[in-house]
Every structure is written in C-alpha cells, then in structure tokens.
Amino acid sequence: MQTIRFGILGAGAIAGRWMKDAHTLRGARVTCVASRNEAKARAFADAWGIPKAVGSYEDLVASLDVDVVYVATPHPLHRQHALLAMRAGKHVLCEKPAALNQRELRDMLACAQANGVFFMEAMWTRFFPGTLRVKELLAQGAIGRLCAVQAQFSFRAAYDPANRLFAPGLGGGALLDVGCYPISYAVDMFGAAPASVAGVAHIGPTGVDEQNAISLRFPGGGVASLVSGLAADMPVVAALYGEEGCLTVPDFYHPERVLLTRAGHTETVFDQPYEQEGFAFEVEHAADCVRQGLAESPRMPHSHSLAVMAAMDALRARWGLVYPTEDGHA
Ligand SMILES: NC(=O)c1ccc[n+]([C@@H]2O[C@H](COP(=O)([O-])OP(=O)(O)OC[C@H]3O[C@@H](n4cnc5c(N)ncnc54)[C@H](OP(=O)(O)O)[C@@H]3O)[C@@H](O)[C@H]2O)c1
C-alpha cells in the first residue's frame, strides 16, 4: 500500500491533539510541520518525531515529501491556506468549519477542481466506527423512519476577548466552533441539506454568538433541534427519534457508545473505545481517497460541507453576525 504523506500547516492546539494519533496511522504518516516561526515548528517536530520542520507555510506547500496538507489554522484562514496548498498541487484536509462562509468554500472547491486535487473538510465525527454503526442501524430500520434529531454541543469557555473562540477576527462564536457539529450530524443522518433553517442566538460583548438554538427541517419532513454554546457545560449528546425507537449517542462528535431504545427497553448496541483522540479514522480515510485518486470523499462529500455552510450563513444573516474579513457580506 502506498503511504500517503501529510504535512501540517499551523503548529497550534488541534495539530498537537491530532499528532497523538500519528503513531497508529496505517497507510499514512506525517512528514513535515510548518509554523510561521521556525523554532516553533522545530520544537513541534521534535516533540512528535516529525522528520522535517519548516518556518513558512510556503515552504511546506513546496515540499516534495508532502502529498496532503492538513490545514490546522483558525477558520478565517482556511480559505487562504487551502488555496496556497492546492495551487501548489497538494491535496487538502481542512479543519472544520471548512471556511467562514459558503462563498469562501466555493472558491476552495473551484480551486481543488482546477488543480485536480482532493479536498475534504476534516469533520472527524463522520469516520468514527460509532457514527458508522448509527448510520448502519438507521439503514437497517432499527428505529423505523427517522423523524427527529436532537443534539447539543456546549461547553463553558473562560471569557477572553483575544481568544479565537471570542475574537471576531479569528472567526469566534459557538456556531462556527461547535455548532457545525450538530448541524453536520443532522445533515449526515437525514442524508440531505436542510430545506429550512431557523435559529436564535445570544450575541456577547465581542459581537459573536455565545449561545444559540437552531431548528432545521429536512426534505421528507424530518426535523432537528440543536443547541451550541460557549457559556455552559452541557452533556454532548445526540438523540435520533424514529417511528419505532430511539438511538442515543453520548459524545456524538467522537462516540464510543450507542444505545437503542425500543418499546421502553434500552440496550447498548455499540461499545468500542478507541485509541488516543480518534483522529486516525479521518486521516486514514483521507489517505484512502487520495490513493484512489478521488476528488472528494464519499463519506464527507463537498455537498455536505456546502449544506452545513449554507445553514450557518443563513443563521448568521438572521443574527446580523458578519466577520471582519467578510467585507459586510457573508
Ligand atoms: N476537529 C476538532 O476536534 C477540532 C478541535 C479544535 C479545533 N479545531 C479546528 O482547528 C482549527 C484551529 O484551531 P486551534 O484551536 O488549533 O487554533 P489555534 O491553536 O489558536 O491556532 C492554530 C495555529 O494557526 C496558526 N496561525 C496562522 N495564522 C494565525 C493567526 N493570524 N492567528 C492565530 N493563529 C494563526 C498558528 O500556527 P503557527 O504559529 O505555528 O504558524 C496557530 O498555532 C480551527 O478551525 C478549529 O475549528 C478542530
């Protein structure tokens, strides 16, 4: 099997968590890390046993020993960094949310097509065996026709206007940071883009949403009720209600367990702890797609990234939440 070589763009928080899975990768390895600061890149490479460290993102995308660039910078920079990599002929695995808005994402997809490279949003939830088991149970009719999804992802973040979670210039706000998970989950489970989108948000002192509640309606009549926030710790959980039962998925964004309730009886139908953080599933999938010469992932297709982005654009338009780099237009 051809080993696919990944290069990390941005040696920050998520890149460090991602590397915890690097030693378990099959058919993929990390060959280079780039930071805007060479000493930082070198320290990151030494800490994680990465053979090469470079002091600019330009040097990373020019590296001959990199096939796929993993874009691990804050969301307002995803477009710029993905374009840099794809114009240099590199495939791209781009952290969630794929971009700030649909317009940016369309630019990125056009660039991927023009350069004949693979592009995937790193929505890691999709690749966990627990998520795949839920999809399988739905397809097998375990709960009958899916009617409703409820999901929430909220945690208490220490207020700091300079932190990327709160800073508008760094794409702050609950919706883009964690709200994309329940939206993407509902899109995955219903297998379609929402037909209508509504929602309310509390906008905090920095001008970004600190809490929100979202309602989606899907073609065929399914609905979703979703919450995301930076204000309070909540159990991160999804529940899928069908005509004949319910599936409950604790920690749905990186699940280890799935429970099935039918006729008042609940049983655990999936219980599989994974190693480390669980990023290996998405990385190995992206490597498989690249090996097969695919332009997009069948499991995390471009259309789903666009559907999630369109829903988030519609919500932000209602809330009047525009980021500084959007020039007044989401
Ligand atoms: N999948 C998940 O579970 C998960 C979890 C957390 C975050 N994320 C996503 O990953 C992305 C990065 O999040 P993070 O928490 O890792 O962010 P972070 O630590 O604040 O920043 C990541 C890196 O981006 C680079 N960067 C380049 N230009 C920058 C600028 N102008 N300001 C700040 N940083 C800049 C820096 O790397 P250098 O200094 O090395 O150049 C920085 O260390 C976000 O889009 C987020 O949504 C995903």
CATH number for the domain including 26?
3.40.50.720
| Tens-place pLDDT, residues 81-118 | 999 999 999 999 999 999 999 999 999 999 999 999 99
Atom of ligand 1 nearest to the CA of 10: 37
Instruction: Determine the pLDDT at residue 329.
Output: 52
pLDDT in tens, 160-210: 999 999 999 999 999 999 999 999 999 999 999 999 999 999 999 999 999
**Do 120 and 199 fall into the same domain?**
no
Question: Does some domain include residue 301?
Answer: no
Q: How many angstroms is it from 23 CA to the middle of ligand 1? A: 22
Residue 203: the pLDDT is 98
20 a catalytic residue: no
With a 6 A CB cut-off, is 228 part of the ligand 1 pocket? Answer: no
Instruction: Kindly state whether residues 133 and 102 are assigned to the same domain.
Output: no
Phi and psi torsions of 100, nearest 5°: -80, -35
Single pTM value for the model: 0.98
User: Residue by residue, what is the 3-state secondary structure of 256-287?
Assistant: CEEEEEECCEEEEEEECCCCCCCCHHHHHHHH
Distance 260 CA to ligand 1 centre (A): 36
The CATH number assigned to the domain holding 170 equals 3.30.360.10
Task: Residue 29: give the domain boundaries.
Answer: 4-125+279-295
**C-beta of 13 in contact with ligand 1 (< 6 A):** yes
Low-confidence ranges of the chain (pLDDT < 50): 330
- Helix, strand, coil share of the chain (percent; to 5): 35, 25, 35
Structural domain count of the chain:
2
| pLDDT at residue 275, as a whole number | 85
| pLDDT number for residue 328 | 55
Token code pair at residue 270: 């999936």
- Please indicate whether residue 31, judged by its CB atom, sits closer than 6 Å to ligand 1: no
Query: Are 118 and 181 members of one domain?
Result: no
Cβ of 81 less than 6 Å from ligand 1: no
